[in-house]
């Protein structure tokens, strides 16, 4: 049985739009590119044809991947929860005891994780360690650079 995929509302909508774009725009365009490349003659030495077929394979693979992911997705709704602990979709501010810096992360799925904009994967070592903890908890986590210690100073469900 396939594992369900937790997504934020924003990520679910983004993946839906990406799937629609691939099906309605990219797929017809690559089919047209293949037809045009075929019209140029000998396919054995036709770089345009090879490139278009390669692109078609990529597009079809991505369509399958997105369709599967959306079929297994469940959107995490935080609107009815009290923000008293870190859960998937929560925005958490932590105090790094070693660097004495505050950092804010939104705990998201692997597809939307981008640490540069403050989105941390729920499957990352720090993301996993934070989930389930409450305000003012101290969380110790082993990361590649060693042991880190964070103090949870704010939790929001946005």
CATH number of the domain that residue 37 is part of: 1.10.287.180
- Report pLDDT for 29: 96
Instruction: Report the C-alpha gap between 106 and 158 in whole angstroms.
Output: 9
Question: Does residue 100 share a domain with residue 56?
Answer: no
Same-domain check for residues 122 and 94? yes
Give the orientation angle of helix 27-38 with respect to helix 47-72, to 10 degrees. Answer: 160
Q: Is the pTM of this model over 0.85?
A: no
128: domain CATH number is 3.10.50.30
Q: How many domains does the chain have?
A: 2
Domain encompassing residue 132: 85-157
Whether residue 149 has pLDDT greater than 70: yes
Q: What is the pLDDT of residues 86-143, one digit of tens each?
A: 999 999 999 998 889 999 999 998 888 899 999 999 999 999 999 999 999 999 999 8
The pLDDT tens digits of the residues spanning 71-87 come to: 999 888 877 777 789 99
Average pLDDT for the chain? 90
DSSP assignment letter at 134: B
């Amino acid at each position: 049985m396939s594992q369900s995929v937790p997504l934020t509302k924003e990520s679910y909508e983004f993946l839906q739009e990406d799937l629609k774009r691939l099906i309605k725009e990219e797929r017809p365009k690559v089919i047209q590119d293949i037809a045009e490349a075929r019209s140029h003659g000998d396919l054995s030495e036709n770089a345009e044809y090879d490139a278009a077929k390669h692109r078609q394979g990529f597009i079809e693979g991505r369509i399958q991947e997105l369709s599967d992911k959306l079929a297994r997705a469940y959107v995490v709704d935080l609107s009815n929860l009290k923000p008293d602990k870190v859960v998937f979709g929560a925005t958490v501010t932590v105090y790094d005891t070693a660097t004495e810096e505050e950092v804010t992360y939104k705990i998201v799925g692997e597809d939307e994780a981008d640490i540069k904009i403050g989105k941390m994967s729920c499957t990352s070592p720090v993301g996993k360690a934070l989930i389930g903890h409450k305000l003012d908890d101290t969380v110790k986590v082993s990361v590649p650079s060693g042991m880190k210690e964070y103090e949870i100073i704010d939790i929001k469900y946005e």
